[in-house]
Amino acid sequence: MDYGNILKNVNRHISLKKSEENYFTSLLIPREIEAKNLILVENKSCKHINYVHEGVFRAYSHDHEGKERTIMFAVNDWWITDIHGFFMEKPALMSVEAIENSVIFQLRKTDLEKLFVEVSRFERFFRILMQNSYIREQLRTRQNLTMQTEERYNAFVTKYPQFISRIPLKYIASYLGVTPQFLSVVRARKPL
Amino acid sequence: MDYGNILKNVNRHISLKKSEENYFTSLLIPREIEAKNLILVENKSCKHINYVHEGVFRAYSHDHEGKERTIMFAVNDWWITDIHGFFMEKPALMSVEAIENSVIFQLRKTDLEKLFVEVSRFERFFRILMQNSYIREQLRTRQNLTMQTEERYNAFVTKYPQFISRIPLKYIASYLGVTPQFLSVVRARKPL
DNA sequence: CTCACTTATTAATCTACATTAACTATTGCC
DNA sequence: GGCAATAGTTAATGTAGATTAATAAGTGAG
């Protein structure tokens, strides 16, 4: 199994000895996921945090009328889970679906807790991972409160250019909090 | 200076020796802030993370028309800063204002980094702090995408009952992403 | 290659929430 | 205690974005 990418991801923030790398990768559960399959289901328990080795995922919930709403995306080299369900050990509030055929490495919560004890530098790694996630999410909240749809869409395209070609527009619309029809109108407003 | 509350806050997640507690509190800068004063100003640098010992704060940005939008609140025993500006060392994207006369303890970024090195258990404390902040923010994103104003307001009142009496409704409206006028209409809909 | 299915676009109509404005509590300071 | 400033409410009118529906353009399995 090719653990090069995930080790590079971790070593971006902390540096591990060979033995620690081996211990860490021994805890990972590799899985191949076909497009449209779920790695996490709403209302079920959420036992893993997932590193995306290859592919794309989206997390979604259902709104008050039962329609799907996209909470987040994850492409290669990102981590994804229902963070609330995972750490609070509560039923998941969202489902996570593969958009492409994908490969992930799963880390069980119990193993993550062992990892924190055995190699405490992983506390630092996850501190930075959670910190960056919080920053990203707070910036998104701020954009939702302060920007119009057109501005938010432009900001999204600028921030995540690699998403546009791999993620259907209907999911991007849902992530931005609008209908695909309205996103079409907004996109049509832009000449060039 | 009364460091009892902040030490209890920290010891909720890690346990410190007396000497470590003393080192930690030696890094804190106590400040009294009068209502309406700012502890952080949009576009200025953001050098501190702030623990609210006593009082209430709100963080806000300006929208595309220049109107204030509330990003978050913080009451006693909460931490608040422009998390992006603080960790990325970028100009603040929001201002933070005292709603009541307040007392805070400020921790400089440079001192926090020393603290991570000297007492690495603080990596764990901040991992949990960032993790809980991320969870809170993702739940909020999910609510904004899936719930109507009435449902979001009810959820807010249920989750933060202590806020209602201390925070003017116009700020709560702005936090929920609606005008005070519309929040009034929504509240009037509820009998009892 | 093709037929079925999914995704994207366009347009007419509808609605949740914004805007403006006027009025009514509250709050706080001399 | 009074009065200016701030906060909250109500109502008429306006608009960003939703809904519905129909069409067009991709995409994929056999």
Residues 6+ apart with CB under 8 A from B83: A131, A134, A135, A138, B133
CB contact under 8 A, A63 and B146: yes
To probe the interface with A, which of B42, B63, B67, B146 has the most A CB atoms within 10 Å? B146
- Amino acid code (one letter) for A15: S
- Stretch B92-105: mean pLDDT: 96
For the record, the structure tokens of B154 come out as 């009810």
Establish if B89 touches chain A: CB-CB under 8 angstroms: no
Q: Smallest CA–CA separation between A172 and chain B, in Å?
A: 13
- Determine the distance in angstroms separating the CA of B138 from the nearest CA of chain A, rounded to an integer: 7
Q: Which pLDDT value is given to residue B189?
A: 85
For residues A173 and A17, what is the distance between their CA atoms, to the nearest angstrom?
Answer: 44
Q: Chain A contact for B108, CB < 8 A?
A: no
Q: Give the CA A53 to C1' D11 distance in Å.
A: 57
Residue B192 pLDDT exceeds 50:
no
Cβ pair A94:B139 closer than 8 A = no
- Confidence category of residue A1, pLDDT binned at 50, 70, 90: confident
pLDDT digits (tens, 9 = 90+) for A130-145: 999 999 999 999 999 9
Chain A interface mutation, best of B86, B115, B137, B175, highest count of A Cβ atoms under 10 Å: B137
| CA/C1' separation B66–C20 (Å) | 18
Q: Return the percentage of chain B with pLDDT > 90, whole number.
A: 94
Helix, strand, coil percent content, chain B, rounded in steps of 5: 50, 20, 30
Interfacial A residues in 161-190 facing B (CB < 8 Å): 174, 177
Distance CA A61, CA A88 (A): 18
pLDDT in the model for residue A185: 95
Residue A177 approaches strand C within 7 Å at CB: no
